[in-house]
Structure 1
Amino acid sequence: MAEPSPAPGVAEAVLPDPGRVRPGVELLLVLGVSLGQSAIYSVLSIIEKLTRNVPLNQQTTTINSSVVPDRPWLDLAYQVAAIVLPLVPALLALYLLQRTGDRRAIGFDLGRPRFDLGWGFALAAGIGVPGLAFYLAARALGFNTSVSPANLSENWWTVPVLVGLAAMNAVLEEVVMIGFWFTRARQLAWPVWIVVASSALVRGSYHLYQGFGGFVGNIVMGLVFGLVYLRVKRVGPLVVTHFLIDLVAFVGYSLAAPYLGWLN
């Protein structure tokens, strides 16, 4: 039987040709709607801080703040939006990887939960304590602001929202900056060291709003994450690590700050 022709005036659907995928364009566009945009605003933020008449280490950077603390129901809606909407670029990255058959290769799945959790907890322990020490040293030396990572008003949903924000950061950053970045950069035939170093540099740049300590610390973290990914070939452990670090920073800070003055 002959293949039926399309109805008059109706164009035939044309499926994308995987061979015509442009990794560089995809990389720029995904960055442009996510962490690359954050990096630009972060550079502007550090310039603004440096041009104040107040030393950098006497300034405070607040994140995860209430928007309308006098209306908890509306504030919760804002917080949920702050969790859900930044995940869209991560979903876009996964979709683009799926179109070219690369999504499974990055290891963002539940296929090896024990492996991911084991590596994740080990990395979090190895990075978390030195990271805190480096932050305190950078602040003491005047290179960093005081970072206040949890500033939500007290509500029944405060802790769940902080957990959600930690999960969002982990998924967004590791899917985009490791899984997607490494896949597309290698398809562009970048040398491995440039792939690792450039990913780490971008990671550090969108943390510049905290100060130069946050910038350098996150570059080091990005280098470690990149090298681990090259070894284990899975984003899963890095998502777990990032989630645990942010969870301690957000929830742990909100619980410990009233009793530990040196954190403020």
Structure 2
Amino acid sequence: MAGSFPSEPLSRRILRDETLLVLALSLGASGVSALISFIGSVTKPGGLKDQAATLNASAAPGRPWLDLAWQLFGICTALVPVALVLHLLVREGAGARSIGFDLKRPGFDLTRGTVIAAGIGSTGIAFYLLARALGFNLTVVPEALPDVWWKFPVLILSAAQNSILEEVVVVGYLLRRLDQLGFSPMGSLAASSVLRGSYHLYQGIGGFIGNMVMGVVFVLLYRRWGRVGPLVVAHTLLDIGAFVGYALLAGKVSWLPTA
């Protein structure tokens, strides 16, 4: 239908402003928040490893149904930037398929994503334990939800929300826009990976470096495959392992730090 999409390519200024606004509404703002949190942690008496960063906490202690409502509300609202990005891609005439966020190749996405998660998972745990032991990281508490029936479903939904938000915005959308703005491949890789590290800085230097390295790997794989699908699968599996694994193992094994 005439008028469905722009008749001319969007100007560099519009693309730049649009990208900055998307980041300001999502993970760019999270990066600033994480930096402020990190400054607060390093200026607080005591070492980083003696402090804790809790990821999935109760929003209404002692009131499970209200808590559930807040948890679901938080997950849904966190995905609004993803809806915005997909809308902008459709407006451009590209759509979700242009970044590989679709169900066109489910087998490919699931297989590659599982392999990535297996490769990164054990390395990530080892790096976290080392960074914490050296005093570069806070103790990360992946979940502190009450023991109610919805605990594990919410943790799985939270893992999926994190992965969809990060991979769609920080990899698929951001790299597309940076390419359109004339960034070099290395410049785009640096911008995406540093951004990923920045919003994990609340965990400490280890969280920043580890996630930045993960960002480099994810950008290279995205460039190779042209799909965020495998990255979403991998990230979801990694977060499920962290959230659910902590819930099952915390206090039961000696090697897992707890707050």
Q: TM-score range by the shorter chain?
A: over 0.9
Identity %: 51
Match of 1:237 in 2: 230
Paired amino acid for 1:28: L
Is this contact kept in 2: 1:174–1:239, CA < 8 A?
Answer: yes
SS at structure 2 position matched to 1:263: coil
Q: Distance in 2 between matches of 1:120 and 1:28?
A: 29
Is this contact kept in 1: 2:6–2:92, CA < 8 A?
Answer: no
1:155 to 124, 148, 155: 148
Paired amino acid for 2:196: R
Match of 1:9 in 2: none
1:68 to 40, 55, 60: 60
Deviation of 1:60 (Å): 1.1
Q: Distance in 1 between matches of 2:8 and 2:101?
A: 21
Deviation of 1:14 (Å): 10
Task: Give the aligned length.
Answer: 252
Q: Does 1:106 align with 2:137?
A: no
Q: Mean alpha-carbon deviation: is it higher for 100-109 or for 176-185?
A: 100-109
Q: Structure 2 matches for 1:64-143, cutoff 5 A?
A: 64-103=56-95, 104-143=97-136
Q: Distance in 2 between matches of 1:164 and 1:138?
A: 28
Paired amino acid for 2:208: F
Paired amino acid for 1:251: V
2:209 to 209, 213, 216: 216
Paired amino acid for 1:63: L
Please, which runs of 5 or more residues in structure 2 have no aligned partner?
none
Match of 1:248 in 2: 241
1:200-225 CA-to-partner distances (Å, cap 9, x unmatched) read 00000000000000000000000000
The alignment's TM-score, normalised by the length of structure 1, stands at 0.93
Is this contact kept in 2: 1:107–1:233, CA < 8 A?
Answer: yes
4+ residue runs of structure 1 moved beyond 3 angstroms?
13-18
Paired amino acid for 1:79: Q
Match of 1:31 in 2: 23
Is this contact kept in 2: 1:64–1:152, CA < 8 A?
Answer: yes
SS at structure 1 position matched to 2:103: coil
Q: Mean alpha-carbon deviation: is it higher for 98-107 or for 114-123?
A: 98-107
SS at structure 2 position matched to 1:108: coil
Deviation of 1:17 (Å): 4.7
Q: Report the structure number with the largest CA radius of gyration.
A: 1
Match of 2:9 in 1: 19
Q: Does 1:207 align with 2:200?
A: yes
Is this contact kept in 2: 1:124–1:242, CA < 8 A?
Answer: yes
Q: Mean alpha-carbon deviation: is it higher for 84-93 or for 96-105?
A: 96-105
Q: Distance in 2 between matches of 1:17 and 1:171?
A: 30
Deviation of 1:145 (Å): 0.5
Q: 1:248 to 1:15 in 2, by over 3 A?
A: closer
Q: Does 1:225 align with 2:225?
A: no
> RMSD in angstroms over aligned alpha carbons?
1.3
Deviation of 1:18 (Å): 4.6
Q: 1:15 to 1:249 in 2, by over 3 A?
A: closer
